[in-house]
């Protein structure tokens, strides 16, 4: 059995969370670059994860505050997964990853950081992308700043 270890994320998990829902609040602001919103669809949007596992870690979320996929309308679901496909294509073009992890954590017990607003994670992966720093030091090396990743992907869109 293989494991994906991310002990450095415990800092985020244990940290005090802001009141409100970032996946509702960020799209309402008129500052996509600062909020790392890459794309806006009619019902869903793409945002960079502020605590990424790897460069290009995207999240796709509906604008509407719903906790689970079954609460989404058919139109929201259809667009959501069309945008997931668009995100995968975008990451392939810009970063040429060897694979992807896709994840939807529904509920706190499933690992959801934003518990009541469903979203899909797209994490690009490369052979050997988990190195000794994570294993022995509880440190994750993310070799690119969020702002730089944002600019690369925004230009590509």
Secondary structure of the chain in HEC code, one letter for each residue: CCCCCCHHHHHHHHCCCCCCCHHHHHHHCCCHHHHCEEEECCCEEEEECCCCCCCCCEEEEECCCCCCHHHCCHHHHHHHHHHHHHHHHHHHHHHCCCEEEEECCCCHHHCCCCCCCCCEEEEEECCCCCCHHHHHHCCCCCCCCHHHHHHHHHHHC
Residue 80 a catalytic site member: no
User: Which of 54, 57, 119, 121 is an active site residue?
Assistant: 119
Catalytic residues: 119
């Amino acid at each position: 059995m293989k494991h994906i270890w991310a002990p450095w994320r415990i800092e985020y998990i244990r940290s005090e969370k802001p009141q409100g829902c970032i996946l509702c609040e960020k799209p309402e602001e008129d500052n996509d670059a600062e909020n790392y919103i890459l794309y806006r669809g009619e019902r869903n949007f793409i945002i960079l994860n502020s605590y990424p596992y790897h460069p290009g870690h995207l999240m796709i979320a509906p604008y509407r505050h719903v906790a689970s996929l079954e609460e989404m309308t058919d139109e929201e679901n259809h667009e959501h997964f069309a945008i997931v496909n668009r995100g995968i294509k975008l990451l392939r073009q810009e970063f040429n990853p060897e694979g992807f992890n896709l994840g939807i954590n529904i509920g706190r017990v499933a690992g959801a950081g934003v518990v009541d607003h469903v979203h899909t994670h797209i994490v690009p992966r490369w052979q050997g992308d988990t190195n000794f720093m994570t294993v022995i030091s509880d440190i994750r090396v993310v070799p690119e700043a969020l702002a730089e990743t944002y600019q690369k992907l925004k230009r590509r869109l």
